[in-house]
């Protein structure tokens, strides 16, 4: 957004006087936008420093263990896939990823399914107690997981959902409902109601209105909520740690945890390689859905 940049088409007399007074060099800089280029270069250098931990991890993943010992900053030359192969052989990454994908997808679908109707209700109708209802459902966002883990465990045990991916997905769905509800409500509130009113006049009931009109219109919002939910479930550790005991059901965060804490196991290039393997899907999702993610985060803060 060019708020402060100079605009050559402005015929501002005071500005012109200013320009004629400024030294030759300053004019050159401004004409060729050299200051902008300089700032861009500086900005990219700073971003590079900011991302350097990631770069370092990537580099270290391509070294041998002894290579990491020698120097973390050195280039991996020649790069070796030893760490990746060893990681792949020790943890069943396809299984871990399958489990995590299951959790992420089912959890997200559940969160969206649960939030869609309340979002519709809260955005369209003035409900006495509606705000209270909204507030109650928001607690899922604020609540630290450790605070309620013990009773939650008892609940899961009573329902027979322990050590089950379905159970964990349900928990994720319910906890994801809070943010999704917040977001979808805001999103739906901004959709004009004419189409709905028209449909109602034609005699559509609630479910039909929702299904044929509102959901398609909200599709971008749902995509946004889905992206954020998937990333958040993919990266979640605590619930998986407590509720799952069968190693065949572990998600990737548990696998990474295994790898970095087993004392006999620790090396330095393997954690780096494992990190890359486990985070590739989220990074891919991020690049593909960046636009959605961006809108989702800003809307959650901006609109409310």
Partner 1 sequence: MAAFIPPETAVKTREEISKSNLRGALHWRYFRRDWFKFVFGIFLPLILFMIFIGYPMLNTIYLSLFDWNGITKTMKFIGLQNYIQLIHDPHLSLSLTNNLLWFVLTLIFPLMGGLVLGAILSSGRIYFTKVLMVLLLLPITFSMVTIGTMFGLITNPVFGALNQVLASIGLGFIHPDWLGPNLAIYTLIAVSSWSGLGMTTLMFNAAMGQVPDELYETAKMEGARAYQTFWYVTLPSIRPIIGIVTVLVAIGSLRAFDLVFVMTRGGPFRRTTVLGYMLFDEAFTKYHFGYGAAIGTVILLFAAVLMYFYIRQNVLTANN
Partner 2 sequence: MKRNLSLPLVVLLLCSLLLGACSPNAATTAVPTAASTSETNTQPTDTGQPVAANTLVPTSWVPVPYSGGVKIQLFMRLSAPGAMWPTIVDGFNKANAGKIYATLTYTDDTTYITKLPIVLRSDTPPDVFFSWMGGRAKMLVAAGYAEPLDRYYTQFGWNTLLTTAAIGIANNDGVNGHIYEAPYYMSASAVWYRSDILKKYNLSVPTTWDELQNVCQTLKDNKIYCWMISNKDGWEAQFDWTGIFVQKYGLQAYKDLINRKIPFTDPRVVDAFQVLKDFADKYAYPNPNSVALMDGSIPFAQGTVAFWYQGSWMPGLFGYTGGTFEYDFMPFPTFPGITPTQELWAEETLMVNANSTHKDEAAQFIDYVLSQPVQTIMAQNNQFPSNKNVDLSVMNNPSLVKLGQVMAATGAATYVHPDIALNDAVSSEFLNDIQAVLAGAMTPAQAGAASEANAVKEAGPVVP
CB of 163 to partner 2, least distance (A): 7
Is 225:173 a contact under the CB 8 Å cutoff? Answer: no
Smaller CB distance to partner 2: residue 82 or 193? 82
Query: Restricting to residues 240-269, which ones interact with partner 2 according to CB under 8 A?
Result: 241-242, 245-247, 257-259, 261-268
CB of 190 to partner 2, least distance (A): 23
Residue 194, interface with partner 2 (CB under 8 A)? no
Residue 280, interface with partner 2 (CB under 8 A)? no
Residue 303, interface with partner 1 (CB under 8 A)? yes
Candidates 5, 127, 288, 303; binder of partner 2 (CB under 8 A) is: 288
Candidates 5, 26, 46, 69; binder of partner 2 (CB under 8 A) is: 69
CB of 280 to partner 2, least distance (A): 11
CA distance 275 to 256: 7
Query: Restricting to residues 205-234, which ones interact with partner 1 according to CB under 8 A?
Result: 205-207, 231, 234
CA distance 250 to 229: 19
Candidates 61, 116, 270, 285; binder of partner 2 (CB under 8 A) is: 270
List phi, psi (to 5°) of 233. -70, -35
Residue 3, interface with partner 1 (CB under 8 A)? yes
* Dihedral (Cα; 43, 49, 53, 58), 10-degree rounding: 80
Closest CA to 176 of 210, 145, 154, 151: 145
CA distance 177 to 179: 6
Candidates 12, 37, 41, 52; binder of partner 2 (CB under 8 A) is: 52
**If you ran DSSP here, which 8-state letter would residue 264 be given?**
G
Residue 157, interface with partner 2 (CB under 8 A)? yes
Residue 117, interface with partner 1 (CB under 8 A)? yes
Type and span of the H or E element at 179: helix 165-189
278-285: list long-range contacts, CB under 8 Å, 24+ apart: 278/93, 278/96, 278/97, 278/252, 278/253, 281/97, 281/100, 281/101, 281/234, 282/231, 282/234, 282/235, 285/227, 285/230, 285/231
Candidates 4, 77, 135, 302; binder of partner 2 (CB under 8 A) is: 77
Query: Restricting to residues 20-49, which ones interact with partner 2 according to CB under 8 A?
Result: 44, 48
Residue 75, interface with partner 2 (CB under 8 A)? yes
Q: Residues 40-69 vs partner 1: string with x where CB under 8 A?
A: x--xx--x--xx-xx-xx--x-------xx
DSSP per-residue string spanning 131-144: HHHHHHHHHHHH--
Type and span of the H or E element at 27: helix 24-31
Binding residues vs partner 2 (CB under 8 A): 44, 48, 51-52, 54-55, 58-59, 63-67, 69-71, 73-78, 80, 82, 86-92, 153, 157, 160, 162-163, 241-242, 245-247, 257-259, 261-268, 270, 287-288, 290-291
């Amino acid at each position: 957004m060019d708020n402060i940049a100079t605009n050559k088409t402005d015929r501002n007399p005071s500005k012109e006087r200013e320009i004629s007074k400024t030294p030759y060099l300053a004019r050159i800089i401004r004409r060729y936008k050299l200051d902008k280029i300089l700032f861009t270069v500086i900005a990219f250098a700073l971003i590079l420093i900011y991302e350097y931990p990631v770069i370092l991890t990537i580099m270290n993943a391509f070294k041998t263990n002894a290579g990491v010992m020698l120097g973390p900053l050195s280039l991996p030359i020649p790069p070796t896939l030893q760490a990746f192969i060893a990681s792949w052989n020790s943890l069943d990454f396809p299984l871990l990823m399958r489990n995590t994908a299951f959790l992420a997808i089912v959890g997200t679908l559940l969160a969206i399914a649960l939030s869609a109707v309340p979002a519709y209700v809260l955005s369209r109708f003035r409900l006495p107690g509606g705000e209270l209802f909204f507030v109650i459902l928001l607690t899922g966002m604020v609540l630290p997981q450790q605070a309620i883990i013990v009773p939650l465990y008892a609940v899961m045990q009573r329902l027979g959902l322990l050590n089950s991916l379905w159970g964990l997905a349900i928990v994720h769905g319910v906890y994801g409902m809070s943010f999704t509800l917040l977001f979808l409500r805001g999103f739906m509130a901004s959709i004009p109601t004419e189409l709905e009113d028209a449909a109602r006049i034609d005699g559509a009931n609630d479910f039909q209105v929702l299904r044929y009109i509102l959901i398609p219109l909200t599709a971008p919002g749902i995509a946004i909520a889905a992206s954020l939910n998937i990333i958040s479930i993919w990266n979640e550790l605590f619930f998986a740690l407590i509720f799952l005991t069968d190693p065949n059901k572990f998600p990737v965060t548990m696998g990474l945890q295994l790898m970095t804490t087993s004392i006999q196991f620790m090396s330095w290039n393997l954690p780096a390689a494992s990190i890359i393997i486990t985070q590739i899907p989220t990074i891919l999702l991020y690049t593909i859905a960046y636009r959605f993610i961006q809108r989702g985060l800003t809307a959650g803060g901006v609109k409310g």
